[in-house]
Amino acid sequence: MGTGHSIDTPIRVAPFGISSVISIVDDLLVERVRKHYAHQEGLPYEQIPRYAEDGRSRRITAYLDLVREIVHRRLEAIKQLPFFEKNDKSKYFEMLPDSCDLKQDYEAMLRMSPGPDRERQERSLTQRMLPGSIDVNIMTKLDRLTFTREGKPLSDEYSDAKTALRGYAESALNSAVIFSAGLNQSLFGYMTRFRDFYRSEMGEIRKKVVLKVSDFRSALIQGKLLARKGLEVHEFRIESGLNCGGHAFASDGELLPTLLRDFKEKRDQLKAEFLPMIRRYYESMGWEYPKLAESEMPLVTVQGGIGTPGEAERMLKQFGMDRTGWGSPFLLVPEATCVDEPTRRLLADASEKDVYLSDVSPLGVPFNNVRRTGSEQWTQQRADEGRPGSPCPKGFLVSNTEFTERPICTASSEFQDLKVQQLDAANPASDERRAAYAKIVRKVCLCDHLGNGALIALGIAPPANHPQAICPGPNIAWFNREYTLREMVDHIYGRGPSIVPAERPHMFAKEVTMYVDYFERLLQQSDRSPKSIAALGVFLTNLLAGMDYCLELAAGEAYGDENLASIEPRIHEQRERLEMLALQLEPVEARAAS
């Protein structure tokens, strides 16, 4: 979702019992949105200046507490509405999954005759209405050290990730923090300062830990690091390495079905490995670990490319997942996400060829993108005018020290000017210079541009000079218009006709193509050294094994509206292509000798 497009999603959907996630990377965006909603809701607002002491942490805490207050107010207003009318109260119950006890009790109440029994049931239902969880995301790799206004370095506890964590920890939320983009041992150690990440005497953890993981090994390693500090993982969230939105962290050729099978077979190891470590930590602190907690198992969930109820059902039934996550399709739901109108139209009109894996991220990590965004046009225009790069107004993605002692961002004007000077000093041929120049100037100011769409949508900033970036997963190509929240929820639960066309390829078929594309990309970038060839060989072996497993799945019965028939022909097509690419897996020396 990026930094901006879910910035106020809990305000929009949590009053209906729907959980969602706010990115707390960009505290400057958070502050502007806090001011907007405080004024809109008639709540007090006092600005926390950019360079105020511990300002980043305080801005995040203040915003999260504001969101919590607004959600509480809106839910209470919905609770006061009458039953038996088309209003937000009926919408709350009707959007619940049909298997939910609360939904079934609601439908039973609708069949009751007026009288004391129905009134009691109405009161009971109203009391049981709960808000969705207001969760937060911290991208662990974004952990730059920060400086005062005068340029003096601040201590490690003021790094970006730690201040974001502190901002969440000191908020009044009872929810979860999702850590993405790998482990950060220093950040994990910092969590021990906050009691809310541990169980109370009643066994409750007020602030739960969710890890986005690429495979079972990653889950085990990160889970152990946390367990040694007494910290429990509430949920392991498996994400497709490529068939997702935002930055793409590809696996070593292991396809999602293979990873899911691995988790299904080994998930019992998670609790067995972690519990003794957690107990020892509690004992060392003089705390009592609640007996009831010993039987609790961490949730295992999956997200990335799910587009039909049948695909979601397979995740739950065949692979034993506890939940499924849906992200990109909600970018087309104005009731749920904060997207400016031109960008939303761009997404609705996007075809498969328009959604692509790009090199625009300053982090050097592949980034899911859509063509013709305002950000792309702004970036290209500056390059065409001979003034490439961004002024770098926020600096969250600074990491490069090629030319400077203090890190700068590769999307910044400062870096790109220096890099172009270096290029010109090398005096390359015109074609080489053109290609190298394009590679330098394509980097986009993501930490600013990913928030601009939200500012425009809320009327905080004008579209002029606020270029918008967005990072949908490839799945968005099959959703072609705006949807109501009710439409999208009904689609997820398989209530009514599908809102995606029947020819949409299965998520597993799409992922196979993406991994073959990625293998070709790695092959083109390879120096053909023995080490590089060995790594490509592992990737190839894993990918072929994953294809074989997908064929096994394709031979079975489809769930609901799964397009299972699309898997086999796609795999045969991509296997043939992969075999042709694999012919290039020779070291440079061997190719020269032949």
325: nearest Cα among 173, 135, 196: 135
Does the pLDDT of residue 594 top 80, yes or no? no
Calculate the CA 464 to chain-centre distance.
28
pLDDT digits (tens, 9 = 90+) for 336-385: 999 999 999 999 999 999 999 999 999 999 999 999 999 999 999 999 99
| Confidence (pLDDT) at 152 | 87
Structure tokens at 11: 């305000």
Q: Mean pLDDT score of the chain, rounded to an integer?
A: 95
What is the spatial distance between Cα 141 and Cα 183, in angstroms, rounded to a whole number?
A: 8
pLDDT (0 to 100) of residue 354 = 97
Quick check: pTM over 0.75? yes
Q: Are 37 and 4 in contact (CB under 8 A)?
A: no
459-465 long-range contacts, Cβ below 8 Å, gap at least 24? Answer: 459/36, 460/32, 460/33, 460/36, 463/340, 463/342, 463/374
- Beta strands at 207-213 and 233-239: parallel, antiparallel or unpaired: parallel
Q: d(Cα 257, Cα 168) in Å, to the nearest integer?
A: 34
Of all residues in the chain, what percent are helix, strand and coil, respectively (each to 5)?
50, 10, 40
For 446-515, the DSSP string reads HHHHHHHHHHHHTTSS-STT--------GGGGG--S---HHHHHHHHTT-SS-SS-TTSPPHHHHHHHHH
Instruction: List the one residue out of 244, 184, 186, 240 whose CA is nearest residue 213.
Output: 240
Percent of the chain scoring above 90 in pLDDT: 92
First to last CA, the chain: 49
What distance in Å separates the CA atoms of residue 198 and residue 302, rounded to the nearest whole number?
A: 25
The whole-number average pLDDT for the span 93-116 is 97
Q: What is the pLDDT of residue 353?
A: 96
The pLDDT value recorded for residue 208 is: 98
* pLDDT of 2: 81
Q: Which of 154, 181, 175, 174 is nearest to 25 (CA)?
A: 181
What is the structure's pLDDT at 484? 98
CA nearest to 507, candidates 544, 553, 575:
553
pLDDT score at 148: 86
**What are 22's strand-pairing partners?**
136
> Is residue 11 within 8 Å of residue 37, measured between CB atoms?
yes
Report yes or no: 452 and 466 within 8 Å, Cβ to Cβ: yes
Q: How many residues does the chain have?
A: 594
Strand 299-303 versus strand 175-180 pairing type: unpaired
pLDDT-derived band at 413 (thresholds 50, 70, 90) equals very high
pLDDT band at 587 (very low <50, low <70, confident <90, very high): low
Nearest to 230 by CA among 264, 183, 258, 196: 196
The partner residues of 175 in beta bridges, in order of sequence, read 207
Secondary structure of residue 552 in the 3-state scheme: helix
Domain spans of the chain, in order of start? 341-492, 507-593
223: pLDDT strictly greater than 80: yes
Name the residue with tokens 């609360």: 102
pLDDT at 331 (0 to 100): 98
> Which amino acid is present at 204?
E
Measured distance CA(242)–CA(304) in Å, rounded = 8
Across the range 155-159, mean pLDDT stands at 92
Q: pLDDT per residue over 233-264, tens digit each?
A: 999 999 999 999 999 999 999 999 999 999 99
Residues with Cβ within 8 Å of 328's Cβ and at least 6 positions away in sequence, in order, are 245, 472, 473, 475, 476, 479
Could you report the per-residue pLDDT of 284-336, keeping only the tens digit for each? Answer: 999 999 999 999 999 999 999 999 999 999 999 999 999 999 999 999 999 99
The DSSP-derived string for 80-107 is TSPSSSSSHHHHHHHTS-TT-HHHHHHH
Average pLDDT over residues 147-168: 92
Q: Which residue has the tokens 């072929």?
A: 544
Task: Tell me what pLDDT residue 142 has.
Answer: 85
Residue-wise pLDDT tens digits, 56-65: 999 999 999 9
Instruction: Examine the pLDDT at 592 and tell me if it is beyond 70.
Output: no
pLDDT tens for each residue of 177-209: 999 978 899 999 999 999 999 999 899 999 999
Q: How confident is the model at residue 593 (pLDDT cuts 50, 70, 90)?
A: very low
> Across 285-413, where does the E strand assignment appear?
299-303, 323-325, 355-358, 367-370
Task: Give buried/exposed letters for 550-586 (b at 16+ CB in 10 A, else e).
Answer: beebbeeebbebbbbebbeebbeebbeebeebbeebe
| pLDDT at res. 89 | 98
Reply yes or no on whether the pLDDT at 433 is more than 70.
Answer: yes
Backbone angles phi, psi at 491, to 5 degrees: -65, -45
| Sheet of strand 233-239, all strands in order from the earlier edge strand to the far edge | 20-23, 134-139, 175-180, 207-213, 233-239, 299-303, 323-325
Residue 588 has pLDDT above 60, yes or no: no
